Amino acid sequence: MSTSKTRERGAAIDIRDATKRYGKFTALDNVSLHIEPGEFMTLLGPSGSGKTTTLNVVAGFTDLTAGDLSVGGESIVGVPAHKRNIGVVFQHYALFPHMTVGKNVAYPLTLRGVEKGERERRVKAALDMVKMADFAHRYPSELSGGQQQRVALARAIVFDPPLLLMDEPLGALDKKLREWLQLEIKRIHRELGTTFVYVTHDQEEALVLSDRIAVFNQGRIEQIGTGRQLYDEPATLFVGKFIGESTTLRGKAETSGDETGLTIAGQKIVAKEKLAGGETPVILLRPEKLSLAAAKAPITNGQNSLAGQVSEAIYLGSGSKYQVVLRDGSIAVVRSSLEAKPFTIGDEVDLRWSVEDSKLLADDDRADMTLT
Amino acid sequence: MNQTIDTTTAGGSDPRPAGRAASEPRRWRLADYPSLLTVPAILLLIAAMAYPLLTIVLRSFSEPEWSLQNYVWFFSTPVNLTVLARTFSISAWVTIVCVIAAYPYAYLMTTVGPRMRLVLIMCVLVPFWVSGVVRTLAWVILLQDSGVINSTLKAIGFSSIRLIRTQTGVVIGMAQVLLPFMILPLYSVMRGIDLRLVQAARSLGARPALAFLQVYLPLSLPGVFAGAIIVFILSLGFYITPALLGGPRSTMLSTLVQSQVLSLLNWGRGGTMGVVLLVSTFVLLAVAAPLMRQRHKQASRS
Amino acid sequence: MKPFRIILGLFCLLVAVWLIMPTLVVIPMSFNDKKSLAFPPSGFSWQWYANFFTNPEWSNSLLNSLKVASIVAVVATFIGTLAALGLSRMKHSGAGILRAILITPMVVPGVVLAIGIYAVYLNYQLVGTTFGFVLAHTMLAIPFVIIAVSASLEVFDVRLETAAASLGANRFTAFRTITLPLIAPGMLSGLLFAFVTSFDEIIVALFITSPYLKTLPVQIFTSITRDADPTVAAVGTIIFFATSLVIAAGLIIGSKSKRS
């Protein structure tokens, strides 16, 4: 989190009822999103979910069909991209191949009429920030992908934009480099205090980087929240399945008082929640909330239990991961600590979890379709 | 994977003007109508190509009066038909000679080292460095009865042959002028052929000749087609080389057109011949279009 | 494999000789001491070079050709580049058809174009005018410019313009500072192609020429058909060496810019 002093440099963003249609296709459907000054906001979602369209709308590359957009309190609808003063980092780097690294970074300053001495000072500072100062006289073609993206980042921040947009900037890099650059981006965000909007389809990346995450699906925002909120309290089945690993259970439902009961292959399980009328309930479980017990072992109070058979057992070093086939054919994912009793493939087991950990959500077949 | 939406909207501005939402009506922008940039070129083509060609087509029907008489005359006069047939046969010969000469040459270009390849490319390009008319003059010098070729033939004990003002001479000269148009497309296709395919065929038991016939040749055919079509079409309209190297027995249609218009001032008949030449060219192009498309597929596969 | 390589090499040597022989034969002819095109020349002299530069018929035609070709090169590069840009940015299927239309001058038989242009020019008193030559030659040159510029646009990443916009460049600035420098090599080769197309054009020129405005190829052609004048060989030799110089310079500049 940024300090209140640096926060002043970032701009707030307000997107209200934004809709974008391409002919009959709706890329953005009534999206509203508020981003705090200096916040690191990630737009997360699968391909075609509208996250990049949102970014392009903010950058000014795409016009809205309906809705309003303001940065720092002023509406910028209709303002062309080059007058918005917003930094953009692209997945494909977009460095100008005919200019050296130094010239690339100086480009936005030259356009703004910054005089030479000042320009050189700021180019140096920006390159220092991304640790590329030694490469100022190289051409982009002489740099690796990671180096090119750092230069692109320097170029996008050198003119001190109050807002920086990043469109899957690490998408083309390998895993190791990506993880290191994630930390670099976090550091730069902390040092600059600029508002960052980051687009990715990688939920782990989103969790590492963001203050808050907006989960996109089919042109809508499913939920906005911190990584912890999204993981622990998913608002929709889609969010629950998109963030982290999960097991979903479906069965015949009945409500009594504040509880919802689900009957799965003859066994009844409970969740301490209930849904509004007319919705089919699904129970979503996180793997670390689940435990395995030998079949027919005694149950403590307040626990749910489902019988199954271990179909996969993976040793992870820090613990073990199991796949368990339940009686109704669905598959549960369980993560257990090293201290827990180990099981092997074929063992008959009972899947156990606390009643409070049953997360009750409305069923939504779109959640499955989009993920596959 | 449904990646289209994200990627297509990622770059560039959206060409569609915004609807109600954008608070003010958008300014008209040139960038929204890129086809307008081609307007100057189109206008120029209309003025300097379409309008002249239309004039010729009209005159072929209208002079001396509106009728089909010029076409009737053209197709009922044996001399014209002979020249038409000759135009096609000379073009065919030129194309064949070009294919035979260019195929091994382009193949060699793909197999030698970079320095030798530069030499070979230079040999293809050098003819372009001299004015086309001057080059034809050179062929007159080379082919004439007392010319270089005949002197050489005599020196090594052969009897001299008549080359200047014969069809053979015309074909030799034209093929030399057009050879680069055959070699270059052929080379670009051959360069894309994966030689490991031939090795694979060899490893599967094909003898070199068979591996060539069954693997390399089919893959290089699109280049042969592309080059052959260009050469044939350019041959049909050749004018300077046959005019200077040829005699009365090797007149081509272009020469007839020229003499009808410039010497006989008969625009109707000259125009008719022009239209026949034009139609032949475009019919050929239309027939050849599928072969060119095949070339595209091939290129994208390699 | 060995004998095959030898036969292949010999065959290609023959083809190479065939390709360059006409060029090579012109050079000795230009130093002929007699007014004859017999080969080999019987003696040495510079008189045909002197004739080329002192005889107003020759020097005027050279100047005419240089003038026409220069204007054509500039105009065709401008119009052709615009068209190539437009084609590259068109998204619908019409682009393919439009491109095919724009390069038709390459396949229309020269004589047919020539008589058509001649007919039109007679009507509008354009025969023997610089404007007439420039108009016809520009039309012939545009396809070459379009092809050359399109080739460099194909490897140009349009997203760079988007990036420039995000950095504060308006459309014109983005075009001037990003697009233009990156397609400049294509435009330069288009310019050269256009120049050569006009400088070497003979068929249309033969029809629209007049005693007052002759281009070099027309002068060469009339000289060849009139008498055996080795001045033609001198012209050919001069063009050959001039072109060689330009290409050598191009190669040197090209290899230098590649290294940097």
- Reading phi first (left if > 0) and then psi (alpha if -120 to 50, else beta), residue A85 is in left
Tell me the pTM. Answer: 0.82
Which residues are CB-contacts of C37 (< 8 A; sequence separation ≥ 6)?
A: B137, B140, B141, B144, C29, C228, C230, C233
Rounded distance, CA C39 to CA C79, Å?
45
Cβ contact, residue pair A48, B26, below 8 Å? no
Please say if the pLDDT value at position B203 is more than 90: no
Q: What is the pLDDT of residue B130?
A: 76
Q: Which of residues 89-128 of A touch B (CB under 8 A)?
A: 90-91
Q: What angle do CA A331, A336, A341 make, to 5 degrees?
A: 105
In the β-sheet with A331-337, what is the strand arrangement from edge to edge? A291-294, A348-354, A303-315, A319-326, A331-337
Collapsed DSSP state (helix, strand, coil) of residue C156: coil
Burial class (CB in 10 A: 0-12, 13-18, 19+), C72: buried
CA A369 to chain CA mean position, Å: 19
Query: Is A260 near chain B, with CB under 8 Å?
Result: no
DSSP C2-35: HHHHHHHHHHHHHHHHHHHHHHHHHHHHTTBSSS
Parts of chain A with a pLDDT under 50: 1-7, 369-372
Look-up: residue for tokens 């057009």?
A: B178
Shortest CA distance to A151 belongs to which of A190, A94, A113, A109?
A94
Q: B183 lies in a domain?
A: yes
**Residue B152 at interface with chain C, using a CB cutoff of 8 Å:** no
Residues of A with CB under 8 A from a CB of C: 59-61, 80-88, 90, 92, 94, 96-98, 107-108, 111-112, 155-156, 159
Residues of C in contact with B136 (CB under 8 A): 224
- Among A212, A209, A146, A157, residue whose Cα is nearest residue A183: A209
Task: Give C-chain residues touching B180 at CB under 8 angstroms.
Answer: 19
Q: Averaging pLDDT over each range in A342-351, B24-33, C35-44, which range is the top one? A: A342-351
In a domain, B56, yes or no: no
C142: CB partners within 8 A, 6+ apart: B41, B44, B45, C76, C79, C80, C83, C102, C105, C194
Work out whether strand A331-337 and strand A319-326 pair parallel, antiparallel, or are unpaired: antiparallel
Q: Which domains does chain C have, with CATH numbers?
A: 61-237 (1.10.3720.10)
The domains of chain A, with CATH numbers, are: 4-241 (3.40.50.300), 247-371 (2.40.50.100)
The answer to whether B49 touches C104, Cβ cutoff 8 Å, is yes
**Do the beta carbons of residue C24 and residue C15 sit within 8 Å?**
no
In the DSSP assignment, the letter for residue A160 is: -
At residue B27 the predicted structure's pLDDT band, cuts being 50, 70 and 90, is: low
Cβ-Cβ contacts under 8 Å for A157 (sequence gap 6 or more): A87, A126, A129, A164, A188, A192, A194
The whole-angstrom separation of Cα B235 and Cα B138 is 19
Widest Cα–Cα separation across chain B: 92
**C-alpha–C-alpha distance, residues C212 and C205, integer Å:** 13
Cβ pair B48:C18 closer than 8 A = no
Structure tokens at A309: 């058979």
| B213 in a structural domain | yes
> Does any domain span residue B144?
yes
Distance between CA atoms of B121 and B109, rounded to whole angstroms? 8
Q: What is the pLDDT of residue B300?
A: 41
Higher pLDDT, C194 or B291: C194
Any CB–CB contact under 8 A between C94 and chain B?
A: yes
Residue B231 lies in a domain: yes
> With 70 as the cut, is the pLDDT of residue C129 above it?
yes
Minimal Cα–Cα distance from A77 to chain B, Å?
A: 7
- Interface residue A200 vs chain B (CB under 8 A): no
Residues 159-198 of C with CB under 8 A from B: 159, 161-162, 171, 196
**A53 interface with B at CB cutoff 8 Å:** yes
Between C15 and B299, the more confident residue is C15
Total structural domains within chain B: 1
Tens-place pLDDT, residues B4-22: 333 333 334 444 444 334 4
Are A159 and C174 inside 8 Å of each other by CB?
A: no
pLDDT tens per residue across span C233-258: 899 899 889 888 888 887 787 666 65
pLDDT higher than threshold 80 for residue C93: no
Whether the Cβ atoms of residue C173 and residue A80 lie closer than 8 Å to each other: no
Phi, psi torsion values for A339, nearest 5 degrees: -70, -25
Min Cα distance A55 → chain B (Å) is 9
Residue C260 has a pLDDT of: 47
CB-facing half-sphere around the CA of C73: CA atoms within 13 A: 18
Note whether residue B9 is domain-resident: no
Residue B132 lies in a domain: yes
Asked if A159 and C167 come within 8 Å (Cβ–Cβ), the reply is: yes
- Provide the pLDDT confidence category of residue B302 given band limits of 50, 70 and 90: very low
CA within 13 Å, CB half, B206: 15
Most confident of B246-255, C105-114, C130-139: C130-139
Q: Which long-range contacts (CB under 8 A, 24 or more apart) does B225-228 make?
A: B225/B288, B225/B291, B225/B292, B225/B294, B225/B295, B226/B185, B226/B186, B226/B189, B226/B291, B226/B292, B226/B295, B227/B98, B227/B99, B227/B102, B227/B181, B227/B182, B227/B183, B227/B184, B227/B185, B227/B186, B228/B95, B228/B98, B228/B99, B228/B182
What is the average pLDDT across C195-223?
Answer: 93
The Cα diameter of chain C in Å comes to 72
Answer whether residue B273 is part of any domain.
yes
Q: Indicate the pLDDT class of residue C219, thresholds 50, 70 and 90.
A: very high
Any idea which of B54-63, B103-112, B239-248 has the lowest mean pLDDT? B239-248
Burial of B231 (C-beta count, 10 Å sphere; 0-12/13-18/19+): buried
pLDDT tens by residue, B108-128? 999 888 899 989 998 888 887
Tell me the DSSP string of A37-88: TT-EEEEE-STTSSHHHHHHHHHTSS--SEEEEEETTEE-TT--GGGS--EE
Tell the burial category of A174 from Cβ atoms under 10 Å away from its Cβ (0-12, 13-18, 19+): exposed
**Phi and psi at residue A305, in whole multiples of 5°?**
-145, 135
Instruction: Flag whether residue A27 sits within 8 Å of chain B, measured between CB atoms.
Output: yes
B30 lies within 8 A of chain A by CB:
no
- Which residues span the domain enclosing B204? 66-301
> Mind spelling out the 3-state secondary structure of B103-141?
HHHHHHHHHCCHHHHHHHHHHHHHHHHCCHHHHHHHHHH
CATH assignment at residue B184: 1.10.3720.10
